[in-house]
Structure 1
């Protein structure tokens, strides 16, 4: 079997403001993504080996969490803001439910993707005067990362 790899530019992301936890009906595409790490899951492992067992250790998962990260090219001052980035930036300045967004990710051409609710960290990057204006985005999952069916033309 020959595997033809995709490129990270194949990924798309949409967000919706979090209100009361109700699934959104309107999603806003996030533009300007220059680097992307798709949602990654991490298990919390606890040692469940016993003194009277063998010398082999034993671990079991007691929880699972997820994060997604991106670098976003941000518009210059005075230019029109990207609506998706504005949803993220606004949530990053709030706490509790105000700091959450609905988010979903998929690879272009795929029929399914991942979606969930996440807390947002959106931080403007610095650098030398010749750098482009960018922001670092971290989405930290609140609850499960679920499959969803990508809408036609999505």
Structure 2
């Protein structure tokens, strides 16, 4: 009798543990990622010396959205720098910068302040949905870009 009761209790504990593991496993969300196909323009909301900078193509973005905001996170390995991190003010949950796509018409102004590679320029022109194919080919010629060099990569 005691042996049967002990076996029943052990089986119940095993079932409860299995259900708990299943519940916890399903709650862990695998982060969704996006790999940038083209550079993005980053504008900071803070007092920086430059009004904007670039996030290069190939950067992995991790989804950090909530019900109100569409946000992404980018991770960097620090090399040769050491930051002194401080506790975040609980009144300020997040202070995001703004990121937006670059239009081909902005290229000449951007190139005055930020050196872009030909590959960056190619991806900006290629993914600019505001222009048609004929304008796209004119821009490739203007910036001396041969699209066949980058389409196989």
* TM-score under structure 2 length normalisation: 0.29
Larger Rg computed on CA atoms: 2
Structure with more helix by fraction: 2
Whose strand proportion is higher, 1 or 2? Answer: 1
TM-score (norm 1): 0.29
Larger relative contact order, structure 1 or 2 (CA cutoff 8 Å, min sep 6): 1
